[in-house]
Amino acid sequence: MTEITRPPHCLAREYLEHRTHSVEPPPTPDEIRRELGWVLIAAERQAQAECDERD
């Protein structure tokens, strides 16, 4: 299974500080999923399920 890594605390604080003072609207749920890599996890699970069906 894919190992999930966390960013360093300083990078998380920097990102949150930037988002707090940003005039841009918040990211869409799809953009958040992409940034967190959830799309890759879903794709990996789907590929594994397809492989299991063939066996």
**19-41 tens-digit pLDDT:** 888 888 888 988 887 877 777 77
Q: Please give the pLDDT value at position 2.
A: 62
SS3 6: coil
pLDDT above 70: residue 1: no
Instruction: Report how far apart, in Å, the C-alpha atoms of 32 and of each of 2, 50, 53, 54, 55 are.
Output: 19, 26, 30, 33, 34
Query: Residue 13: how many CA atoms within 13 Å on its side-chain side?
Result: 3
Identify which of 41, 36, 39 has the alpha carbon closest to the alpha carbon of residue 15: 36
What is the chain's mean pLDDT, rounded? 80
pTM: 0.41
